Amino acid sequence: MKKKSILWVDDQIDLLEAHIIFLRDKGFQVTSCNNGSESIELIKNNLYDIVLLDENMPGISGIETLEQIKILRPNLKVIMITKNEAEDIMDQAIGKQISDYLIKPVNPNQILLSLKKNLITKELINETNISQYQQKFRSLSIDMMNISSWDGWLMLYHEIIFWELKLSKTNDKTMIDILINQKREANNLFSKFVEKNYESAINDSNGPTFSHNICKRHLFPEIKDQSVVFIVIDNLRYDQWLCIEPTILEFSKKIKEYQYFSILPSSTQYARNSLFSGLMPKSIKEKYPQYWKDDHEEGGKNLYEKELLEINLKNNFNDELKSEFVKVTNPNSADKIIEQLKEKSKNDITTIVYNFVDMLSHSKTEMQIIKELASNDKAYRSLTKSWFDNSPLLEIIKKSIELNCKVIITTDHGTINVKTASKVIGDKNTSQNLRYKTGKSLTYSLKDNIAFNDPHKINLPKSSINASYIFAKEDFYLVYPNNFNYYSNFFKNTYQHGGVSLEELIIPFIVLNS
């Protein structure tokens, strides 16, 4: 590890020689001076990792020196050392972004602790994280091979994401690659589990929570004496939620958190219609054919979410609720909602569908700059957070909380970065999605896909008598033989949804309050 360089500024620096020798023995490079003016010249001509700055000096004071340091080197860390405990002095120092402060007299170990906290905490945490994951790797591998329940997969995915977010803060590519491979193996085993257990689970009224029963089980019980703002962020992965969560928790409190499963196909047409209606797609088509379009039919596939939600609310609340449904597809519509939130807070429930994350995912396929900005999951999370911190959605959530609304956030499905093309053959009416296909006479790889020859067994509609569904496993994506090499290269390393992976199927449900 490179030696950290310290500039120590104190008008009685000669009396601190023993402290300086102590720090040098601990591996630090220490430069000293006895006034603010000289320290500014040193900082102009040298790069230091941190400054130890006396607050009370003749000539240019510590606070004045601090101001000039921050102009020259805004990101340079400064530890203020003072014998003045006056609150206004500390407020000035903290307001000018000191990293820490110490009260005189200081001993060498106090200084060492503050330096470690500000200079090498990250390295120490990274080393600890890598060591802990190395110890956990084997037990994770054993655990995933023995999972026999849907809840078990929720717990395992939660832990994998925990380690992925921790390791993503390090620069240890080897360990990150090991975790990525472990997640790939988890997806392999999860696909086998889904293939074996999905049909029974989706038909079990007491089974795991899927898209079609999340509202009845977890949303509707929250609609009581407090206005609810229900926000469905299209295509939001669980790890993306964890990245935007800290910003939200600065002004709200998380009351409840669940993870649950998107239905198959894990795509907007199926999962979101199912979420709002409280029905599986087969039942939607049978009960409300005017609100359903099969994949090969022309026209929007999610044009009737409002009507489906209204039916669901009516069936559960007998026309007792005042509700409103809005979609956000551009910044102007978001700004309009912000202006109207005070009025909407009089509703029992206001449902907001926010489409930006889905557009971001699709833009990665179509736009080179987005491909470069979101080249992997870490970058994709970072891009999501950067967008969210500057988005109208943050203002919608914040203002809703200020209006004493209960805010509930979920999504319809997640997405996965696809890596491996798999050939599929179908007729002209076969669906176009890269992660699932429905149609008749499909030819595909049994190794790369899960197939359901009778869609009614998993409560999906048939577009024709002989139609079946296939769902891509793991990180495969489905490409037709015509121009196979071109399209496999074009779609490789893009974010897709509709298939079977932990990233697509395990999604968050969050309840927030003031």
Residues 287-315: pLDDT tens digits? 999 999 999 898 889 999 999 999 999 99
* pLDDT band of 123, cuts 50, 70, 90: confident
Mean pLDDT of the chain: 91
Tokens 């779609």, residue?
491
Indicate the angle between helix axes 150-167 and 121-145, nearest 10 degrees. Answer: 160
Q: What confidence tens digit (pLDDT) does each residue in 241-288 have?
A: 999 999 999 999 999 999 999 999 999 999 999 999 999 999 999 999
Percentage above 90 pLDDT, the chain: 72
Q: How far apart are CA 466 and CA 361, in angstroms?
A: 32
Q: How many CB atoms lie within 10 A of CB 335?
A: 14
- Report the C-alpha gap between 382 and 370 in whole angstroms: 12
Q: Phi-psi region for residue 498, left (φ > 0), alpha (ψ -120 to 50) or beta?
A: left
- Output the pLDDT for position 362: 55
Helix, strand, coil fractions of the chain, as percent rounded to 5 = 50, 20, 30
**Domains of the chain in sequence order:** 5-106 (3.40.50.2300), 122-202 (no CATH), 211-415+504-513 (3.40.720.10), 417-497 (no CATH)
**pLDDT band at residue 97 using 50, 70 and 90 as cut-offs:** confident
Nearest to 469 by CA among 481, 456, 484, 452: 452
**Residue pointed to by tokens 């449902």:** 351
Whole-number pLDDT of residue 318: 79
Q: How confident is the model at residue 351 (pLDDT cuts 50, 70, 90)?
A: very high
Q: What is the Rg, in whole angstroms, of the alpha carbon atoms belonging to the chain?
A: 28
User: Residue 95: its pLDDT value, please?
Assistant: 60
Does 14 have pLDDT greater than 70?
yes
Q: How far apart are CA 193 and CA 349, in angstroms?
A: 37
Beta-carbon count within 10 A of 394 CB = 16
Residue 264 is given by DSSP the state S
Strands 406-410 and 253-261: unpaired
With a cut of 90, say whether residue 164 has pLDDT above it: yes
User: Would you say 59 and 9 are in contact if contact means Cβ atoms under 8 Å apart?
Assistant: no
Burial class (CB in 10 A: 0-12, 13-18, 19+), 397: buried
* pLDDT number for residue 23: 95
At 54, give phi and psi (nearest 5°): -70, 135
CA 398 and chain centroid, separation:
18
Query: Contact, 108 vs 19, CB < 8 A?
Result: yes
What are the backbone dihedrals phi and psi of residue 302, each rounded to the nearest 5 degrees, phi first?
-130, 45
How high is the pLDDT of residue 447? 97
Q: In sequence order, which residues have a C-beta less than 8 Å from that of residue 438 and are 6 or more positions away? A: 265, 295, 430, 431, 455, 460, 463, 467, 468, 469, 470
Which H/E stretch holds residue 113? helix 108-115
Q: pLDDT at residue 366 above 70?
A: no
Q: What is the pTM of this model?
A: 0.82
pLDDT for 437 beyond 80: yes
